[in-house]
Amino acid sequence: MASDAELLQIIDQALSETARKSGAWLVCKPGCWQCCIGAFRIHALDAVRLRSGLAKLRLTDPGRAEKLDARVAAYLQEVQADYPGDVVSGALREDPVSLEAFEEFANDAVCPVLDPASGTCDLYDDRPMTCRVFGPPVRNEEGLGVCELCYQGATPEEVEACEMVPDPDGLEEQILETMQQALMARNAPAPGATIVAFALRMEPVR
């Protein structure tokens, strides 16, 4: 089975190649955090990776981790009333009404993992997949999606030539399927999609 480390290596290689082809069009850099605004769905593998990153941070920089924990708690306190999911488990609901509600949920909230002093991510090495592929041209249902700050002045053909194919062999889905099978074998419930803050909280929000 492919490991998360193997998956991240493939993603990083794809990003490096896209950055090489993009040159000055790809303006992502430390201190630019427009992509850190707004809630987004993460899956179980993202959540495990984030929690592992936070555990490492608590060992290497307890003060920084404590500030992150405080931002997570404040974030959840602010948004939980409108959360279209279970505020105890953190799982998002999957019914049509809830899915539609999530489109408007916490769109102006800044990710609690962002350090407001430095403008950088406190868990950058362990960030979710959405964060890893945001910026370069990545294909979705609507075509090629790019950060609005990037590829200024590039033609559609030039943007397409820089397309990033993050996971061509579907390793992420394989890992998620294996995780689900392992949970089923232990009669444990499969975790649903959630958001970064719920994945990182210390205690359930009541």
Give the pLDDT of residue 202: 63
CB 133 within 8 A of CB 11: yes
Please tell me the predicted confidence (pLDDT) of residue 189: 75
Which residues does the chain have with pLDDT short of 70? 1-2, 202-206
Neighbour tally for 83: CB within 10 Å: 23
Q: Which residues pair with 138 in a beta bridge?
A: 145
Tell me if the pTM is above 0.85. Answer: yes
Instruction: State pLDDT tens for residues 141-164.
Output: 778 889 999 999 999 999 999 999
Give the pLDDT confidence score for residue 2 in this predicted structure: 67
Pairing of strands 120-121, 138-140: unpaired
Q: Three-state SS across 157-193?
A: HHHHHCCCCCCCCCHHHHHHHHHHHHHHHCCCCCCCC
- How far is it, in rounded angstroms, from Cα 15 to Cα 70? 32
User: Which amino acid belongs to residue 26?
Assistant: L
Share of the chain above pLDDT 70, in %: 97
Bridge partners, residue 145, by sequence: 138
Residue-level pLDDT at 188: 79
Residue 49's nearest CA partner among 121, 103, 120 is: 121
Determine how many CB atoms are found less than 10 A away from the CB of residue 53: 21
Measured distance CA(51)–CA(134) in Å, rounded: 21
Residue (of 48, 51, 88) closest to 182 by Cα position: 48
Mind listing the pLDDT tens digit for each residue in 94-123? Answer: 999 999 999 999 999 999 999 999 999 999
Query: Which two structure tokens, joined as six digits, stand for 52?
Result: 């592992």
